Amino acid sequence: MHNWFVIHLGDALLAGPDFDDLQLELTEIYEQAGKPADMAAFYRHETSASLFCSVSVYLSPAFSAHAEALYATPCPKPESFGLTFFAGSTDLEIN
């Protein structure tokens, strides 16, 4: 299975510490895995019917062995619109 994964960090104004900690953790996982070209994470600020903007972090399928420990849930491959690189390989492109 080649699912992507998502981690919802909640309100963008409150996600700062979790955002920073997650970026460090994903970078460590990436480095310990030998820096594979297909292991990357991206984030996007998303809005819905609520009044606040939330942060979602998308993990490529190469993070699957760590998804459960990261409290990530399977999701479809995200659309590239509005995604920003977060951690891992800068070689992975989302089209």
Q: What's the pLDDT tens digit per position in 5-62?
A: 999 887 655 666 788 899 999 999 999 999 999 999 999 987 766 657 788 999 999 9
Asked if residue 93 has pLDDT above 90, the reply is no
DSSP state of 62: G
pTM, two decimal places: 0.89
Given this model, what pLDDT does residue 24 score?
95
Asked if residue 1 has pLDDT above 70, the reply is no
pLDDT band at 94 (very low <50, low <70, confident <90, very high): confident
